Amino acid sequence: MPTPRVLVLRAPGTNCDQETAFAFEQAGAEADLIHVNRLLENPSIPNDYQILCVPGGFSYGDDVAAGRILANQLQHHLSQTLAEFKASEKLILGICNGFQVLMKSGVLLPDDGQGAPATLTWNDSGKFEDRWVRLAVHGNNCVFLQGIERLDLPVAHAEGKFVVRNEATLSALDGASQLVLRYSAQSTDVHVPYPENPNGSQANVAGLCDESGRVFGLMPHPERNIDPTHHPQWTRRGLGETGDGIQMFKNAVQYFAE
């Protein structure tokens, strides 16, 4: 099986890059940490990679808005590079701050002429939410979520509330099977209350993919649950040999073996 190469894009303030690279390596990929300034100097660097990942953290300190500065850099200086990367049927993953970057740069949901169809904004609680959540996978459109039905992963964000322009946009995204990961609760999946839905996201959305299923962004951190001992209840629940998050990275690697 070929070994895919992963470009883990970092910027000042990024703090989950090494853990994300480690998760990809545990899944069988080869990962490199590359600063955004290197891409600005040489936009052809991604040509040598099959997966681009924008990890979590606080890029540029989340000044102005979470992920906004890095998103502007991608949008205004690297849009052609990213467009070519997507067109070549490679994979793009954004985790937490990376999800915010993909959304605000238009990589995940491009401007349709009326502005951004959706965004990520302040949690309803008005505070940083750091907790474990249950997640349910909807549909089978997303490459990263193949064979996964449910997940336990941690979240750590202040601006993770998914909101759309209007109900028609939400319906269109749902109809296109792009609302692929949602916060879940034991009682109901229709309206998941706080804190199971930690930010008040519309339709309980925790992750979104593009129409191809190859570009995926999510607020929870899969790289923080790749070993059963990462889970706070690992001694009580008799968890399996791996943490829930590792399968996402394995799916990305497997994609290039097919």
pTM value surpassing 0.85: yes
223 is catalytic: yes
* pLDDT (0 to 100) of residue 236: 86
16 is catalytic: no
> For 180-234, how does the pLDDT look when each residue is reduced to its tens digit (9 = 90+)?
999 998 765 578 999 999 999 999 999 999 999 999 999 999 999 999 999 998 8
> For 102-134, how does the pLDDT look when each residue is reduced to its tens digit (9 = 90+)?
999 999 999 888 889 999 999 999 999 999 999
Annotated catalytic residue within 129, 159, 196, 223:
223
Please give the mean pLDDT across all residues of the chain: 95
* pLDDT (0 to 100) of residue 187: 62
Annotated catalytic residue within 16, 53, 96, 142:
96
Annotated catalytic residue within 142, 196, 209, 221:
221
Q: What is the amino acid identity at position 30?
A: E
* pLDDT (0 to 100) of residue 189: 59
Bridge partners (DSSP) of residue 12 are none
Left if phi > 0, otherwise alpha if psi is -120 to 50, otherwise beta: which for 203?
left
Q: How far is CA 63 from the centre of its chain?
A: 20
Fold of 5-255: Rossmann fold (3.40.50)
> For 23-49, how does the pLDDT look when each residue is reduced to its tens digit (9 = 90+)?
999 999 999 999 999 999 999 999 999
